[in-house]
Amino acid sequence: MQIAKSWRQQPSNLRLEGTRCTRCDRLEFPAVIRCSACGCTEFEICQLSGKGEVVVATTVFEAARDFGEHVPYSAAIVKLAEGIHLAAMITDVEPRDVYVGMKVEMVTRRIAAQGDKGPILYAYKFAPLLMP
Amino acid sequence: MKPNWAVGIVGYGGYIPRYRIDASEVNRVWKDSNMLAGRSFKAVPGPDEDTATIAIQAARNAMQMAQIPPGELRAIWFGTESKPYAVKPTSTIVADAIGALPHANAADWEFACKPGTEAMHAAIAMVGSGMAPYAMCGGADTAQARPGDILEYNTGAGGASFILGAAGESLAILEASTSYVTNTPDFFRREGQPYPSHGQRFTGKPAYFHHIHAAVSELMNETGTSADDFKYAVFHQPNYQFPVKVAASLGFPKEKVVPFILTSQIGNTYSGAALLGLAKALDQAEAGDRILLASYGSGAGSDAFSFTVTDRIEKIRRRGIPIDVYLKRTRLIDYAMYARYRGKLRLN
Amino acid sequence: MTTGIEIIGVGLTKSAEKWEMGLLDIAIRAAGKALEDAQSESPDAVVVANAFGGALGDQQNLALHLASGLGCCPVETYCVACDDASGGAAVRLACALISSGMHQTVLVVGAEKTSDALPDMLETVRASGLDAGREASFGFSPTIAGALGMQQYLNVYGLDKALFFHIAKVAHEHGATNRNAIFRWPLDEAQYLKSPIVATPLSVCDTAPPCDGAAAVILRKSKNGSGHIRILGGANVSRKRGIVHPITELTLPAATESAAMALKEAGCDVADMSLLELHDSNAFLAALSIEAVGLAKPGEALHRAADGDFSKDGKAPLWTFGGHKSRGLAPGASGLYQVVEAVLNLRGDAQRNQVPSATKALVQCLGSFGAQAVTHILG
């Protein structure tokens, strides 16, 4: 993860900011610069609620570089209240206890840190709803 | 000390990681003695947590309670002695996460275990002078301890965040505050060192007890109060004994103090310790209650505050997350997992 | 239009960990074999499919370096990098070069060198074919996506994981007789079930082993009565990216559309195919591909595999040389391996992997977790 790349993604990584097209009302996450539905280039910034539920989950034992320290971890498709699907890790729960339909909410965590010297990527994961 | 305009707390939030290790498990690995009586736990950050993520969650919880526009925060000030970046503010990460950038002050404060109350003083001054409608301060730590050191038995992780605003919309109004600092090297960590050093028994009488006693005595003098006038008293809590002992020396009975000593449940959360205690006290306070907060930071100093709870507390507090929710959310781990989660096993 | 193009030469290297050879060496070897097979003069264009050579810090612009190494310069060269769909896309591009009249004879080479990279690095680079910002940088890879897809497939259709054995079984059955395959043994259910889990429920046996390999074909405008195998139809379809759709909807629209378009161009039906080579980089994509091209109804791919439909003597022989699962997955070359293997079968040169009286074949490769699909019909 190059520094500038994660910096560009901070609004979506830290605040779940997406865009709503001013012409066709399409909601996209992360933010886009051109609507994939109507081609419009004007948007309203739209912060997603961060509440959702697990659609399907897996427990990962063999990870890509930079993620090995978190193994075994739960990776899932989460459907947000706004209807958007996100690929995200599930935290604060044992991977085997994650289930389909589990209510979750966004938390900000260290996603990857490139050893001791690199920039730390802070971004969203999802955790079981703290106060149902 | 008092600001020109009355200031109070308009929202607060805490956060404690879910993992716990039993002090007897630390003992098993390093001493294997039966010296420990009773169980005592400390909170351990998960492998994806650090001071920034703890501070972010505490800040979010405070914002959820306060329900103020993030753009009206003029300061986001967090104190810690376990910064994820040695150079690069943690507070800007927190501020970004809650949407408070860019028209704000943001900086990390350092004063061993009391930078959060230093920041609270500054936040009070900022709001009380009319410079800002709201200011956020807080403290969070993933407290370091050398493996096997006495500190390792209870160095925990957690943090709390407070939003200061006008007294008229506060759940608790500041009555007065004091700060008492000296140049006392009872506990320190040198640049680049992973673990702190401490003066063992030197951290007691000339350090913790002297400074808190002095700061609180001064506050009582300034406000003309005594221990009887306070419903609750919250002290920095490196362990159970210190706050109980300093409270007794100031005339506080145990029952006003003990419910807010969280060390047996989460350990010493350093910069988060006194502030989490205050949050716990506010969780159960009622209108009219006067609450004492006295922090302690090695190096050394103590900040003391007197807050009076308003009748808005019920309505505002309902929007937040009680500290009890985090105290009850636990998952016990053994020393091996603790060593892994705290990065004590070198992978690279 | 891809019709009117014939394949006059094919070549491939063994799929393996080729410690003694570099990316360029492998490409040269496969290309050399194809040139010898075709006994043709030097090609007037070279198209190279290579997905990760640049990202892995190996050779960039491999087409130029290959042409130089083959001694066929001056020549027009192109590189195609479309993730695992690179091979199919390169063939498609070569067809366009010929159909347009720009070139007469085009050498298409797919090559990949994965074994020089450590496994976690390779996984990272393979993940970059997904949405780099939202998927790869959050720890998602094609393998993890495959695991999520498998779990959803089992959840939605109420199936037992053991049923996925039949996907790997078909591949291994056919790979066992392929001397160029990396895994040359039949797989039994007990072995399958004790295979180490990569990400639940997906095990090592549900993924194709990354390996080094290259495959090449030489294409030219068809000549009447030449007797060469022809490309009867082709289609390259890209759809909305992301791993979410295949996982949540359990469909691969790009694969369905690309197969339908290619079949339509060829004027035939999937039932007319003597054999098929589909993209089995993992068992989930393999199952969805089977359903996408119409070999099974939704949720029934595993049952059809269990029924023996995809064996060499079955209704629709699949992965006749072992597929990516048994032969090995050299990502950028995978689409070319499929074409070469299909040609060998259609020529009757497949030896122990021969499908009796094979006349038509469908080959399809997928990129970016099925968001892109390239299909060709050969015959």
Question: Are B101 and B220 members of one domain?
Answer: no
Q: Give the separation between CA A50 and CA A58, rounded to whole angstroms.
A: 20
A70 neighbourhood in chain C, CB within 8 Å:
139
A114 neighbourhood in chain C, CB within 8 Å:
none
Q: Give the separation between CA C212 and CA C15, rounded to whole angstroms.
A: 6
**Residue B70, domain member (yes or no):** yes
As beta bridge partners, residue A56 has A77
B and C touch per CB criterion (3+ pairs under 8 A): no
Task: Provide the whole-model pTM.
Answer: 0.94
Buried b (16+ CB within 10 A) or exposed e, B162-180: bbbbbbebbbbbbbbbbbb
* CATH code: domain of residue B237: 3.40.47.10
CB C30 within 8 A of CB C13: yes
B81: annotated active-site residue:
yes
B137: annotated active-site residue:
no
- What is the rounded radius of gyration, in angstroms, for the C-alpha atoms of chain A? 16
Question: Are B203 and B248 members of one domain?
Answer: yes
Task: Report percent pLDDT > 90 for chain A.
Answer: 82
Distance, CA of C192 to chain centre? 23
Q: Which of B46, B50, B321 sits opposite A91 (nearest CB)?
A: B46
pLDDT above 80 (res A1) = no
A123 neighbourhood in chain B, CB within 8 Å:
none
Domain count within chain C: 1
Q: Is A122 in CB contact (< 8 Å) with chain B?
A: yes
The secondary structure of residue B206, as a DSSP letter, is I
**Residue C272, domain member (yes or no):** yes
Inter-chain residue contact B48 with A130, CB threshold 8 Å: no
Rounded to 5 degrees, φ, ψ at B66 are -75, -30
Inter-chain residue contact B85 with A120, CB threshold 8 Å: yes
pLDDT above 60 (res B283) = yes
Q: Which of B47, B57, B85 sits opposite A107 (nearest CB)?
A: B57
**Residue C245, domain member (yes or no):** yes
Q: Which helix (H) or strand (E) holds B210?
A: helix B210-223
pLDDT at A116: 79
pLDDT at C3: 62
**Which structure tokens are listed for B63?**
């914002």
β-sheet with B7-15: strand ranges across: B105-109, B73-79, B134-142, B157-166, B7-15, B172-181, B301-309, B290-294, B232-235
Inter-chain residue contact A62 with C151, CB threshold 8 Å: no
Nearest CA in chain C to A87: C135
> Burial level of A10, CB count in 10 A (0-12/13-18/19+)?
middle
Which of B49, B81, B152, B218 is labelled catalytic? B81
Domain count within chain B: 2
pLDDT at C78: 98
Within the 348-367 window of chain C, which residues sit less than 8 Å (CB to CB) from chain A?
Answer: none
Report the residue of A14, A46, A48 to disrupt the B interface, i.e. the one with the largest count of B CBs within 10 Å.
A14
Question: Are B167 and B180 members of one domain?
Answer: no
pLDDT above 90 (res A31) = yes
How far does the CA of residue C124 sit from the closest CA of chain A (Å)?
5
Inter-chain residue contact C134 with A30, CB threshold 8 Å: yes
Q: Give the separation between CA C309 and CA C205, rounded to whole angstroms.
A: 20
Q: CA angle at residue A47 from A46 to A51, to 5 degrees?
A: 135
- What is the rounded radius of gyration, in angstroms, for the C-alpha atoms of chain C? 19
Residues of chain C with pLDDT under 50: none
**Residue C48, domain member (yes or no):** yes
Question: Are B78 and B136 members of one domain?
Answer: yes
Q: CA angle at residue C82 from C199 to C270, to 5 degrees?
A: 85
Q: Is B69 in CB contact (< 8 Å) with chain A?
A: no
* Residue B198 or residue C179, greater confidence: C179
Rounded to 5 degrees, φ, ψ at B185 are -85, 65
CB A49 within 8 A of CB A32: no
Q: Give the separation between CA C339 and CA C91, rounded to whole angstroms.
A: 9
pLDDT at C372: 98
Q: Is A125 in CB contact (< 8 Å) with chain B?
A: yes
Ordered alpha helix ranges (H), B31-89 = 51-66
Q: Give the separation between CA B232 and CA B53, rounded to whole angstroms.
A: 30
Within the 88-127 window of chain A, which residues sit less than 8 Å (CB to CB) from chain C?
Answer: 88-89, 100, 111-112, 121, 123
pLDDT above 70 (res A87) = yes
Question: Are B135 and B62 members of one domain?
Answer: yes
How far does the CA of residue B215 sit from the closest CA of chain A (Å)?
37
Within the 95-114 window of chain A, which residues sit less than 8 Å (CB to CB) from chain B?
Answer: 107-111
C-alpha pair distances (Å), C30 with each of C16, C53, C86, C109, C295: 14, 17, 16, 7, 32
pLDDT tens for C221-240 read 999 889 999 999 999 999 99
Domain limits for position B81: 7-172+313-340
Q: Give the separation between CA B222 and CA A50, rounded to whole angstroms.
A: 46
Q: Give the separation between CA A50 and CA B57, rounded to whole angstroms.
A: 13
Contacting partners of chain A (3+ CB pairs under 8 A):
B, C
As beta bridge partners, residue C197 has C203
Q: Which helix (H) or strand (E) holds C374?
A: strand C372-378
**Residue B273, domain member (yes or no):** yes
pLDDT at A98: 98
Residue with tokens 């399809």: C364
- What is the rounded radius of gyration, in angstroms, for the C-alpha atoms of chain B? 19
**Residue C140, domain member (yes or no):** no
Mapped to the 3 state alphabet, what secondary structure does chain A carry?
CCHHHHHHCHHHHHHCEEEEECCCCCEECCCCCCCCCCCCCCEEEEECCCEEEEEEEEEECCCCCCCHHHCCEEEEEEEECCCCEEEEEECCCCHHHCCCCCEEEEEEEEEECCCCCCCCEEEEEEEECCCC
Strand runs labelled E in C172-321: 197-199, 202-203, 213-221, 229-238, 275-277
**Residue B270, domain member (yes or no):** yes
Coil/strand/helix, residue C200: coil
CB B135 within 8 A of CB B128: no
- At B116, which amino acid appears? G
Q: Give the separation between CA B302 and CA B293, rounded to whole angstroms.
A: 10
Q: Which helix (H) or strand (E) holds C25?
A: helix C23-38
Q: Give the separation between CA A71 and CA A60, rounded to whole angstroms.
A: 6
Domain limits for position C37: 5-118+208-378
The secondary structure of residue B268, as a DSSP letter, is B
Q: Is A48 in CB contact (< 8 Å) with chain C?
A: no
Q: Which of C136, C197, C244 sits opposite A77 (nearest CB)?
A: C244
pLDDT at B36: 64
Question: Are B149 and B200 members of one domain?
Answer: no
Number of neighbours of residue A100 by Cβ within 10 angstroms: 14
Q: Give the separation between CA C351 and CA C336, rounded to whole angstroms.
A: 19
Q: Is B283 in CB contact (< 8 Å) with chain A?
A: no
Q: Is A45 in CB contact (< 8 Å) with chain B?
A: no
Question: Number of Cβ pairs closer than 8 Å across A and B?
Answer: 53
Angle between helices B241-249 and B210-223 (to 10 degrees): 40
**Which structure tokens are listed for B267?**
């350990």
CB B234 within 8 A of CB B293: yes
Q: Which of B48, B97, B331 sits opposite A125 (nearest CB)?
A: B48
Within the 126-145 window of chain C, which residues sit less than 8 Å (CB to CB) from chain A?
Answer: 127, 133-141, 143-145
pLDDT at B345: 87
pLDDT at B348: 63
Question: Are B281 and B322 members of one domain?
Answer: no
C-alpha pair distances (Å), C307 with each of B179, C292, C297: 81, 18, 14
Q: Give the separation between CA B81 and CA B196, rounded to whole angstroms.
A: 10
C-alpha pair distances (Å), C54 with each of B32, B119, B347, C107, C287: 55, 50, 28, 21, 31
ipTM given for this complex = 0.96
Q: Give the separation between CA B31 and CA B21, rounded to whole angstroms.
A: 16
**Which structure tokens are listed for C225?**
């009565």
B211: annotated active-site residue:
no
* CATH code: domain of residue C308: 3.40.47.10
Q: Give the separation between CA C120 and CA C124, rounded to whole angstroms.
A: 6
**Residue B62, domain member (yes or no):** yes
pLDDT tens for A41-67 read 999 999 999 999 999 999 999 988 889
Beta-carbon-side half-sphere exposure of residue C186 (alpha carbons within 13 Å)? 4
Which of B25, B49, B113, B152 is labelled catalytic? B113
Question: Number of Cβ pairs closer than 8 Å across A and C?
Answer: 101
A112 neighbourhood in chain C, CB within 8 Å:
137, 139
C-alpha pair distances (Å), A96 with each of A60, A90, A99, C17: 11, 11, 8, 35
C-alpha pair distances (Å), C197 with each of A59, B181, B295, C189: 9, 58, 50, 15
Q: CA angle at residue B258 from B255 to B262, to 5 degrees?
A: 160
Q: CA angle at residue C332 from C329 to C333, to 5 degrees?
A: 65
Q: Give the separation between CA B160 and CA B137, rounded to whole angstroms.
A: 9
Inter-chain residue contact C139 with A36, CB threshold 8 Å: no
Inter-chain residue contact A68 with C240, CB threshold 8 Å: no
Do the bridges between strand C197-199 and strand C105-112 make them parallel or antiparallel, or are there none, so unpaired? unpaired
Q: Give the separation between CA B224 and CA B219, rounded to whole angstroms.
A: 8
